[in-house]
Amino acid sequence: MNVPSLRYGENDTIFALASGAGRSGVAVIRLSGPGVRFGLETMAGGVPEPRRAVLRHLREPASGEVLDEALVLFFAGPASFTGEDVGEFHVHGGRAVVEAVLSALAGLAGFRVAERGEFTRRAVGNGRMDLTAAEGVADLVEAETGSQRRQALRQAGGALERAAADWRARLARLLAWAEAEIDFPDEEDVPALLASVRENAGTLHGEIEAALAGARRGERIREGAVVVIAGPPNAGKSTLLNALAQRDVAIVSPIAGTTRDTIEVHLDLGGYAVTLVDTAGLRETTDVVETMGVERARASLERADLVVWLESADARAEPPAVAAPLLRIRTKDDQPGSAAIGAFDVSLSVHGGTGMATLLARLEAMARAALEGGEQALVTRARHRQELEIVARHLDIVRGADVDTPVEFIAEDLRLAARAVGRLTGRVDIDEIYDLIFREFCIGK
Ligand SMILES: Nc1nc2c(c(=O)[nH]1)N(C=O)[C@@H](CNc1ccc(C(=O)N[C@@H](CCC(=O)O)C(=O)O)cc1)CN2
Ligand SMILES: Nc1nc2c(ncn2[C@@H]2O[C@H](COP(=O)(O)OP(=O)(O)OP(=O)(O)O)[C@@H](O)[C@H]2O)c(=O)[nH]1
Ligand SMILES: [Mg+2]
């Protein structure tokens, strides 16, 4: 069925610089929409054979001036990234070249600059991928570590999309059984039918719970694990942050209470993304600004996946109780009196250059222990987890239904479960919505 489009600008031909902003060797300008053939004819003198790169002069349509010599590509819809006709100009990456080609495109009738994510949005709208795969594409562009890249690639390739489509189809089948029972009640079959619906709901429930079990690791891989450096003032926290970041991020000084704001640095720890947070030294103080810093430090400790607690001979304190695992570090072990510090996991001196390899190895091992396997997780965002928790809740009710449960209730839980999967994938079944509306009508109306 052809549903008329209500989205503004959906029939425009969109274009954008697809490669990064700024000077580069080659820049890719991508076009998508019904006007692509016209655009290629007007600016490149013709439409290349699909999926074959050709070298062409790009011309300013009005003046005929040659703007660049470029590689030109054409992908005929629907076999393209967006599902529409797609064109590409691979131009020399200078600012003036890119600017001239973009402004020539802007002058073509029906052409406009693409909005953020609009190419992928059209791919979803044209059924090329679902929302979870589109999120995977976004994650692939953002990926900073190997594990993030592998996770995003799986998701962009449809790992969650396929699982969700399967869950959805099975829910629809269970719903059809339940609804047949509502419309054509046949007393004798009820117990057998109910047993079968319950059993199938139980199997589905198990699969959703298994997906949810990997959610924490999946989300941590994507967002990065949070490692908080904490300890008393002057313990060498900012010095350690700078050493791990291999750049001068935080101010270091012999004055206790130097750091006030929390300072975040993104690190690749053995292939895993980690956000390293430097915090204000914990102590009671009358300084208003430092007090705010200490409050921020305590808030960071609460969201930590790992706390790295620092102490030195000239800065001693017992760690506070925290939920996350805690690694105790003795710093400045080049200082006299260091031996007096009792229990610790790693001893190091940033100035002396000792113990750093041991600390890094410990951090990598802890990151691996906490995140390994997370790249295979189906659930990589809170959004996925929340929808699947709704699905699991309704399936749990269905699998526990007894003979007295009205079949209408079972159908309703199945419907709510299916709807949550629909929100997850962004594929809301039009037939289902029609069914919901027209079921209220009577036959013959
Ligand atoms: N130059 C260029 N490189 C790029 C992209 C692009 O759009 N342009 N991509 C964009 O993000 C990624 C590649 N992704 C793509 C995904 C699907 C299709 C495509 O044409 N799909 C058709 C045909 C499939 C086939 O031949 O196997 C289809 O799905 O029907 C193209 C690129 C990364 N590299
Ligand atoms: N001897 C020695 N001194 C160090 C070492 N690491 C840091 N320091 C010194 O210790 C002092 C405090 O270092 P910071 O890194 O600013 O300490 P901090 O824990 O961030 O302190 P606050 O931000 O005030 O909480 C500075 O004078 C550093 O040079 C080390 O390995 N050996
Ligand atoms: Mg500091």
Atom of ligand 1 nearest to the CA of 73: 1
Q: Which residues are annotated as part of the binding site for (6S)-5-formyl-5,6,7,8-tetrahydrofolate?
A: 30, 88, 128, 445
Residue 375: which of 198, 161, 159 has the closest Cα? 159
Task: Note the pLDDT tens digit of each residue in 256-285.
Answer: 999 999 999 999 999 999 999 999 999 999
Answer CATH for 235-372 from 1.10.3720.10, 3.40.50.10470, 3.40.50.300, 3.40.630.30: 3.40.50.300
Measured at the alpha carbon of residue 430, what is the angle toward residues 387 and 200, in degrees to the nearest 5?
50
What residue ranges do the domains of the chain occupy? 13-127, 168-214+380-441, 235-372
Q: For residue range 211-232, list pLDDT tens digits in order.
A: 999 999 999 999 999 999 999 9
Distance CA 317, CA 234 (A): 11
* Separation of alpha carbons 382 and 192, rounded Å: 38
How confident is the model over 409-421, as pLDDT tens digits?
A: 999 999 999 999 9
ipTM for the predicted complex:
0.86
312 pLDDT higher than 60: yes
pLDDT tops 70 at residue 4: no
The 10s digit of each residue's pLDDT in 298-309 is 999 999 999 999
- Average pLDDT for the chain: 92
Tokens standing for residue 237: 């926290």
Alpha-carbon span 417 to 263, nearest angstrom:
42
Question: Which ligand has an atom closest to residue 18 CA?
Answer: 1
Strand partners, 112: 14
What is the DSSP secondary structure assignment for residue 261, as one 8-state letter? Answer: S
Instruction: Kindly give the distance from the C-alpha atom of residue 80 to the centroid of ligand 1, in angstroms, as a whole number.
Output: 6
**One-character DSSP codes across 94-142:** -HHHHHHHHHHHHTSTTEEEPPTTHHHHHHHHTTSS-HHHHHHHHHHHH
Q: Determine the Cα–Cα distance for residues 102 and 124; give it in Å rounded to an integer.
A: 25
Q: Which atom of ligand 1 is nearest to the CA of 75?
A: 20
Mutate to test the pocket of ligand 2, among 229, 240, 252, 349 (most ligand atoms within 8 A of CB): 252
Instruction: Give the number of the atom of ligand 1 that is nearest the alpha carbon of residue 51.
Output: 20
CATH superfamily, with its number, for domain 168-214+380-441: tRNA modification GTPase MnmE domain 2 (1.20.120.430)
Contact between 263 and 250 under an 8 Å Cβ cutoff? The reply is yes
Of 333, 238, 324, whose CA–CA distance to 276 is shortest? 238
Q: How confident is the model at residue 176 (pLDDT cuts 50, 70, 90)?
A: confident
Residues at the annotated binding site?
30, 88, 128, 234-239, 253-259, 278-281, 445
Q: What is the mean pLDDT of residues 361-390?
A: 94
* 368 Cα–ligand 2 center, Å: 29
> For residues 305 and 302, what is the distance between their CA atoms, to the nearest angstrom?
9
> CATH number of the domain at 13-127, please?
3.30.1360.120
Contact call for residues 237 and 396 (beta carbons, < 8 A)? no
What's the CA gap between 74 and 70, in Å, rounded? 13
92 contact partners, CB below 8 Å, separation of at least 6 = 25, 26, 27, 68, 69, 70
DSSP 340: G
Angstrom distance (rounded) from CA 424 to CA 388: 8
- Cα gap 250→241, rounded to integer Å: 7
Which residues have C-beta under 5 Å from ligand 3, the single-atom ion? 237-238, 258-259
22 φ, ψ (degrees, to nearest 5): 95, 170
Q: Which residue, 94, 103, 155, 163, is CA-closest to 374?
A: 155
Ligand nearest to the CA of 128: 1
pLDDT at 129: 96
What is the reported pLDDT for 406? Answer: 87
Residue whose CA lies nearest to ligand 1 atom number 30: 79
